[in-house]
Amino acid sequence: MKSIKVLLIACFLTVFSVQAARDEKSKATGAIDAQTFEKLMKAQELTEAGNHDEALGVLDGIKNRGKVEGYGKAQMWNFYAFIYASKEDYANAIKAYKEVIAIEETPDQLVLQAKYTIAQLYFQLEDYDSCIKYMNEWLKGVEKPTPTAHIMLAQAHYQKRNFDLALSNVDKAIELEKAAGRQVKENWLRLKSALYYDKGDYPNTAKTYEDLVKYYPKVDYLKQLAGMYGEMGKDMRRLTVFDSIYLNNSLKKENEILNLAYMFLGAEVPYKAAKIIEKGMNDGIIQKTQKNIETLGNAWAQANQHDKAIPVLEEAARLSESGKLFARLAGVYFDAGDYKKAAEAAKKAAEKGGLKNPGNNYLLMGMSYSNLKQHHNALQAFRQAKETKSILKDARAWEKHTLQEIKLIEDLEKSQFELEEKTKKTLESEENNKEI
């Protein structure tokens, strides 16, 4: 609102002058008489002081005299429009400006300025069709169109969802601005990005955000750019942008930091993910919930950092009501070569239940017992694992291997026993021979 008032005052002071009247002698039918000029100046002073109703009273006095014509009449209606606009009575301001345009003696400069201001006022009233009409008329009448005129047209077309027309005007405004040696305004680029986004043109949306980051480096624009890379399936670019934000200490929310960690997990960089979560917890940003602790433990496990993964997963398992974390912990123990703890964790997982794949847990339990040479416990675990069809083949293979191990041990024990018996008999025979 304020910007329109400032523009109106500037435009009015530019147009209304004795010199302007002299420059337009070819169109004017008569000069402004001294009394009318004095009244107009009085109206201007009252308006600038905020006394709008008194200013309108002064103009009504001029109009009711019925003596003002031509250029003077045009200036009178120009003043009316100026005052109504200052009062934010845009409907009457528009009517007054149309009176200015309708007068034949109105100078071309004043006609163009009236059309430009009418377009602005219609925009304020959200009458975008009329705004577009008068702004296009203004553009046809000027030799050097301004970038702001094209931006207003772009905004009006955007409101009408005419995205292509809006974009063409934004591009024209940017072209004119660059030609003048000025940096493109931030809100113009934001409008351009919004237009491309609403069109579903993510590549050009991303390109516009790249320009925003280049000229107006802000964290919000980096986040938007990362989001666009995600929409386009450019996950590594998305990760790189978010990581740069993180390294700049500009990710402050728990969900943002966790999202970055999940991105690193998705990119198969678990060590980085674990470091990010660990730091977030140490900084008090990421809460030490069961889920977050589990994610940290899994990240350390995927990074083969068993010494870090085990205590974290142990803590998460204690907090969990189901056995799935004990099953995960059993896997970490197994990978670390601690088969005893692996078997114990798998047993706890089976006891707690709630596993998506209980067969896998029993298979791991059996493998752990097998490595501990507790073959009968291993057999029991493998037989329970066989109840899951997806791992039936593996469970049978391990069961067969364990039975072979048991048979081998039994054969060795039998051979040992027979050898001992034979040795005993031999010794006894030798003793008997000595006695004889």
> Is residue 436 scored above 60 in pLDDT?
no
Residue 372: partners with Cβ closer than 8 Å, 6 or more residues away: 339, 340, 343
Tell me how far apart the alpha carbons of residues 238 and 212 are, in angstroms, rounded to a whole number. Answer: 16
150-164 tens-digit pLDDT: 999 999 999 999 999
Tell me, what's the pLDDT at 18? 35
> Is residue 8 scored above 60 in pLDDT?
no
> Is residue 87 scored above 70 in pLDDT?
yes
CB 343 within 8 A of CB 372: yes
Tell me, what's the pLDDT at 24? 43
| Crossing angle for the helix pair 90-102 and 70-86, to the nearest 10 degrees | 170
Tell me, what's the pLDDT at 254? 96
| Over residues 41-70, mean pLDDT | 81
Return mean pLDDT, the chain: 86
Place 27 in a pLDDT band, splitting at 50, 70 and 90: very low
Complete DSSP assignment for 79-129? HHHHHHHHTT-HHHHHHHHHHHHH-TTS-HHHHHHHHHHHHHHHHHTT-HH
Tell me how far apart the alpha carbons of residues 333 and 321 are, in angstroms, rounded to a whole number. Answer: 20
Contacts by 339-347, CB closer than 8 A, 24 or more apart: 339/368, 339/369, 339/371, 339/372, 340/368, 340/372, 342/368, 343/368, 343/369, 343/372, 343/374, 343/377, 345/317, 346/381
Nearest to 385 by CA among 395, 374, 398, 377: 395
Tell me, what's the pLDDT at 278? 96
381-426 tens-digit pLDDT: 888 888 888 888 888 888 888 888 888 876 676 666 656 666 666 6
**Pick among 1.10.3720.10, 1.25.40.10, 2.60.34.10, 1.20.1050.90: CATH of 1-143:** 1.25.40.10
Tell me, what's the pLDDT at 9? 40
| Over residues 23-34, mean pLDDT | 52
Q: Which residue has the higher pLDDT, 62 or 154?
A: 154
**Residue for token digits 């847990």?**
361
Q: Where are the domains of the chain?
A: 1-143
Which H helix or E strand runs over 135?
Answer: helix 128-141
Tell me, what's the pLDDT at 429? 65
| Over residues 127-141, mean pLDDT | 96
> Is residue 260 scored above 60 in pLDDT?
yes
> Is residue 379 scored above 50 in pLDDT?
yes
- Longest Cα–Cα distance of the chain, Å, equals 167
The distance of Cα 139 from the centroid of its chain, to the nearest Å, equals 37
Tell me how far apart the alpha carbons of residues 215 and 50 are, in angstroms, rounded to a whole number. Answer: 40
